[in-house]
Amino acid sequence: MVVLGIETSCDETAAALVDEHGIVLAERVFSQIAEHEPFGGVVPEIAARSHVSHLDRLIAETMTEAGTDFGELDCVAATAGPGLVGGLLVGVMTAKAIAAVHALPFLAINHLEAHALLPRMLEPIAFPYLVLLISGGHCQLVIANGVDDYARLGTTIDDAVGETFDKTARLMGLGYPGGPAIERAAAQGNPDRFALPRPLIGRGGADFSFSGLKTAVRHAVAELPQPLTEQDARDMAASFQTAVGDVLCDRTINAMAMFSNYTGTGGGNLVVSGGVAANRYLSERLATILADSGFRLNVPPPALCTDNAVMVAWAGIERRHSGRRADALDTPPRARWPLDPVAARPGAKA
Ligand code: KG4
Ligand code: ZN
């Protein structure tokens, strides 16, 4: 079984061919960073146009490198949400066209589910498992019960963690995307120099909040000589990243207890995925809370944490294995598409 995956939900245009054993036959990721950099963030219209310009070529290169014909595919899987609708339309329409022409099943993939399932391609991880999904648009702790079956334990009540990295980096003049820039700067900074808040730490539940941290960085930056010296930026980055690490660890410890109660077991797998999971400091911090916990940490390599089409193709394979045949060719892209449609409002009392 070989599946073509297509990813266009944000600012990466990507195509991949993956087989049912999780072997990546070929993949391409085109990052639009240079096109959005002058604006300090993703511009939806530019992203959509860029997907149109690059996607066909990336698919053709992937098919050629793998030596695969469209007729040999089992199905075509495209991210159909959540994300920027203009970009999603490009990927979904392209996938539907290929499916229609070659009489293949089309699968509409949830981008968050693709992040959450990808680690199963790399290691044997049985359902249920705990997922810390940390990306540019999301920050959630969910239980993966199975394909298309998620129970959300907590989510952010304001900003996503990657968004906080990006906005904080911009405040410090570190450029876009902010996550890698902050990680690099923080490696040479003093994490104790600036006292920053750790929102929600010590409170019950598994929700997150980052807007207070972002505001505190803005105030602290405003008190420094402008533009920041290299060392000031490094110290601020290290102080910020450490605060994020403290928050993620505190919330994840609560979620591990909630997971154990839910499953009636003393542990399991903790999968960390999404673009922010590419941060080595944060994954090392998360590893420290697992000692004697009964949980095992699964973090994909950085290139599979950030957006890619391998995870979309793999989600397609998982869906086919779980008995899903195809989605209708009039399935629309969805800007919002929660993993757990019945989850309580963020911050609400359970
Ligand atoms: O999963 P992703 O590629 O796209 C979304 O689905 O949102 O995540 C992108 C986010 C960006 O906010 C980026 O700054 C962040 O992931 N990111 C990082 C790192 N690499 C990417 N954040 C912290 N440290 C990193 N090394
Ligand atoms: Zn993503």
**pLDDT tens for each residue of 21-30:** 999 999 999 9
Q: Cα(83)–Cα(81) distance, rounded to whole angstroms? A: 5
The residue whose CA has the least distance to atom 10 of ligand 1 is: 136
The residue whose CA has the least distance to atom 4 of ligand 1 is: 136
For residue 12, CA distances in Å to 102, 330, 338 come to 26, 24, 21
The residue whose CA has the least distance to atom 13 of ligand 1 is: 179
Residues in the chain: 350
DSSP collapsed to 3 states, 57-97: HHHHHHHHHHCCCHHHCCEEEEEEECCCHHHHHHHHHHHHH
Q: What is the pLDDT of residue 176?
A: 84
Measure 226 CA to ligand 2 centroid, in angstroms: 33
Measure 333 CA to ligand 2 centroid, in angstroms: 16
Q: Cα(87)–Cα(81) distance, rounded to whole angstroms? A: 10
Find where tokens 């110290």 sit. 235
Task: Out of 306, 308, 310, 336, give the residue to mutate to test ligand 1, the one with the largest number of ligand atoms within 8 Å of its CB.
Answer: 306
**pLDDT tens for each residue of 299-336:** 999 999 999 999 999 999 999 999 988 999 999 999 99
Atom of ligand 1 nearest to the CA of 166: 14
Q: What is the pLDDT of residue 41?
A: 85
Please give the radius of gyration of the chain, using alpha carbons only, rounded to the nearest integer.
20
Pairing of strands 139-146, 149-155: antiparallel
Q: What is the pLDDT of residue 350?
A: 42
* pLDDT profile of the chain (350 residues), mean per 10: 98 98 98 91 94 98 98 97 98 98 98 98 97 96 97 97 96 91 98 98 97 97 96 98 98 98 93 98 97 95 97 98 94 96 66
Measure 326 CA to ligand 2 centroid, in angstroms: 23
Measure 306 CA to ligand 2 centroid, in angstroms: 6
Taking Cα atoms as reference points, which of 80, 91, 121, 118 lies closest to residue 30? 91
